[in-house]
Structures are given as structure tokens and as C-alpha cells.
Amino acid sequence: MRIALIGPTGVLGRALAPLLLQKGYTVRALARSAAKARATLPQALEIVECDLLATNADALAPLLQGCDVVAHIATAIPRDFTAPNAWEANTRLRTDGVRTLLDAARQAKVGRYLQQSITMAYPDHGDEWITEDMPLDATPRRGQVTNPVITMEQMIRDTPPDTLQWCILRGANFVGPDTAQAQTLEALRQGNQVVPCDGRNFVSLIHVADIAAAFVAAIENAPAGSIFNITAEPLRHGEYLDALADSIGVPRPKRDESVPCPPSWRCSAQAAKTKLRWQPTHPLVP
Ligand SMILES: NC(=O)c1ccc[n+]([C@@H]2O[C@H](COP(=O)([O-])OP(=O)(O)OC[C@H]3O[C@@H](n4cnc5c(N)ncnc54)[C@H](OP(=O)(O)O)[C@@H]3O)[C@@H](O)[C@H]2O)c1
């Protein structure tokens, strides 16, 4: 089986591509830079140069020819969230990029379409468990992040699953090598990390190796037209940061009630465990 991977050079791609090869799949990596892909990814990959924002469905379809599955894991999260037009490329990848890829996948008669999405698009639910049937956050407060995700998911949901077997994986915040967790550990070492508010909000986290495994499970087991939260057991934010501090032997961070309380995301991955037959196995704290 041949899998086309859009965004193979990122944090998730670098975990997923070797895992797919190890499982015996052929992987066609569609990367913005073939040179970067060759330098960072296993040699056994087929590498095709493709910028999802500089192509169209007619040009892309031949690149997907012969693939059984296409997985869109590309993203362009800005370094500086407040810079002018900071979110533009990311928004386009989630809207124009997805539209192009869906059209190209249908033209190329790809059977299965996997879309990486985010659990951070849910509204704050306090201590309540969040399941996939709950609506995403359509309020303007976090609209720059959530609106493109809502549009993206709607485009996919509007695709009849008998024309393309789609599955959306809503990933929790990644931890593990090369993720934002490294910056949090560094801030803890420097004594610069605080626990915002009272630390009682829930964080949903997933080790990058576990979300890569969820993609493999989705390729093998996802029902057509399905959506799954992919997360480990949620933790209270304060408990997570305390555990991280303990793991490197530095003082636990102070609670700072002057910092606004972040949204609380206590996401359930029960559906993925049951239907994808997937389990997270990597610890959240190194
Ligand atoms: N990081 C998290 O905590 C987190 C949590 C939940 C879900 N997610 C989602 O998981 C997915 C993967 O995240 P990640 O952390 O692995 O992202 P990442 O490390 O930032 O990698 C992004 C990938 O997208 C590629 N890309 C960017 N613009 C592109 C374009 N115009 N055309 C084609 N490819 C393009 C990048 O290529 P270059 O190497 O050329 O830049 C790179 O391969 C994303 O959908 C993200 O929204 C992430």
C-alpha cells in the first residue's frame, strides 16, 4: 500500500514516515523542499517536491496517482502569533490547501484521506470530558485559530465518505522530541516557567510517537467518515508542570493567579481506543 504524506519534514512527519516504512508501506513524501526531505527523512521514501499553497488539484492529482491513502499533516504555525498576517499561511493550508488536496485525491482515485486536526479547537469545558460530538469553538475569541479548523473539518465532512473514505484525527498538544515541551523544560530550568492561574485547567497531551501510531491505526482501522480525539489521559496543568520540574530535579513552578486561566481541555480518546484499536504507550513526562 502506498501512502502520500503532505508535510513529512515536520515534527510529526519525522516520526510517522519511518513508522510507515517499518510497517511495510511505501511512502511518497510530498515536501516543499526535496533537498530538506532527503536530508531529514529515510532514504527509502519516494520524494516529490510540492508546495501545497503553490499548486492546484489538476497539477497535484498526478503526484497522488497510485497512492491508496493521502495524509495531510502540513501546518505553518507562526513563531510570533502577533506579527501582521501571522496566521495567513496556516489558514490557507487548512482551507485552500485542504480543498486542493481533497479534489486531487478524488481525481487520482485515492481511497482514504486522513486529516490532522487539533483538540485545541474545542471551547473550554472545565472539568467536563470532551468527546468528538461536541462542537468546536466558533466564538470570535480564538477565531484566528479555530475558524480555519472549523472550515477545514466542514469541507471534509461535506465529502461523501463513499467517494473518499475520510478520517479526521484531532491531535492533542504534542510532547516528546523537538516539540514545545523542550522549551517548557528549558523555562523550568531557567526558573522562568509559571503555572498560569491556579493550574486546575486540564491539558490534553500526546507523545509524538503515539500520534504517529494513531495514523497507522487509522490507515488500518478507521471507519469511513470518522473523527477521533488523539490524546493521552488529560492532566491538570499544574500537575503536569510539577511532574516536568520533578523529572529534571528543579523547583516546581509557582502558581500565578495574575495570568488568565487557559481553556481547560479534558479530551477523551475512548473512541480511538475502541474503534481504531489504538493506545498511547509513551510517557508524557520524559
Ligand atoms: N505541534 C503540536 O503540538 C500539534 C498538536 C496537535 C495537532 N498538530 C497538527 O499536527 C500536524 C503536524 O504538526 P507538526 O508539529 O509536525 O508541524 P511542523 O513541525 O510545523 O511541520 C509542518 C510541516 O508542514 C510543511 N509545510 C508547511 N507549509 C507547507 C506548504 N505550503 N506546502 C507543503 N507543506 C508545507 C512543513 O514543511 P517544511 O519543512 O518545508 O517547512 C513541515 O513538513 C499539523 O496539522 C498540526 O496542526 C500539532
Where along the chain do its domains lie?
2-175+204-232+266-276
Helix (H, G, I), strand (E, B) or coil at 17: helix
Using CA atoms, how far apart are residues 210 and 208, in angstroms rounded to an integer? 5
CB 102 within 8 A of CB 113: yes
**Tens digit of each residue's pLDDT (9 = 90 or more) over 57-102:** 999 999 999 999 999 999 999 989 889 899 999 999 999 999 999 9
Nearest atom in ligand 1 to 174's CA: 3
How far from 211 is each of 11, 35, 44, 60, CA to CA, in Å? 11, 26, 22, 26
233, 223, 240: which is closest to 277 by C-alpha?
223
CB of 168 closer than 6 A to ligand 1?
no
- Please report how the helices 96-107 and 57-64 are oriented relative to each other, as an axis angle in degrees rounded to 10: 50
Nearest protein Cα to ligand 1, atom 47: 75
Using CA atoms, how far apart are residues 106 and 212, in angstroms rounded to an integer? 24
Query: Could you tell me the distance, in angstroms and rounded to a whole number, from the CA of residue 52 to the centre of ligand 1?
Result: 12
Helix (H, G, I), strand (E, B) or coil at 264: coil
Which residues does 105 contact at the CB level (< 8 Å), separation at least 6?
64, 70, 113, 164
Q: What is the pLDDT of residue 213?
A: 98
Q: What is the pLDDT of residue 81?
A: 87
CB of 14 closer than 6 A to ligand 1?
no
Q: What is the pLDDT of residue 210?
A: 98
Ordered alpha helix ranges (H), the chain: 11-22, 34-40, 57-64, 88-94, 96-107, 143-157, 181-190, 208-221, 237-247, 270-271
**Phi, then psi, of 101 in degrees rounded to 5:** -70, -40
CB of 171 closer than 6 A to ligand 1?
yes
Nearest atom in ligand 1 to 54's CA: 31
Query: Could you tell me the distance, in angstroms and rounded to a whole number, from the CA of residue 62 to the centre of ligand 1?
Result: 23
What single-letter DSSP state applies at residue 111? Answer: S
In the chain, which residues have pLDDT < 70? Answer: none
CB 204 within 8 A of CB 231: yes
CB of 32 closer than 6 A to ligand 1?
yes
Bridge partners (DSSP) of residue 118 are: 171
How far from 83 is each of 88, 90, 93, CA to CA, in Å? 10, 13, 18
**Tens digit of each residue's pLDDT (9 = 90 or more) over 101-136:** 999 999 999 999 999 999 999 999 999 999 999 999
Ordered alpha helix ranges (H), 57-142: 57-64, 88-94, 96-107
Contacts from 174-178 at CB under 8 Å and sequence distance 24+? Answer: 174/11, 174/12, 174/205, 174/206, 174/207, 174/208, 174/211, 175/205, 175/206, 175/207, 175/208, 175/284, 176/15, 176/207, 176/208, 176/209, 176/282, 176/286, 177/11, 177/208, 178/11, 178/14, 178/208
Pocket test for ligand 1, best of 12, 96, 100 (most atoms within 8 A of CB): 12
Pocket test for ligand 1, best of 75, 179, 229, 240 (most atoms within 8 A of CB): 75
Helix (H, G, I), strand (E, B) or coil at 7: coil
Query: Could you tell me the distance, in angstroms and rounded to a whole number, from the CA of residue 6 to the centre of ligand 1?
Result: 9
Query: Could you tell me the distance, in angstroms and rounded to a whole number, from the CA of residue 114 to the centre of ligand 1?
Result: 14
CB of 58 closer than 6 A to ligand 1?
no
CB burial class (10 A; 0-12, 13-18, 19+) of residue 243?
middle
CB of 52 closer than 6 A to ligand 1?
yes
Bridge partners (DSSP) of residue 26 are: 2
CB of 53 closer than 6 A to ligand 1?
yes
Q: Does domain 2-175+204-232+266-276 have CATH number 3.40.50.970?
A: no
Using CA atoms, how far apart are residues 56 and 38, in angstroms rounded to an integer? 24
Query: Could you tell me the distance, in angstroms and rounded to a whole number, from the CA of residue 107 to the centre of ligand 1?
Result: 24
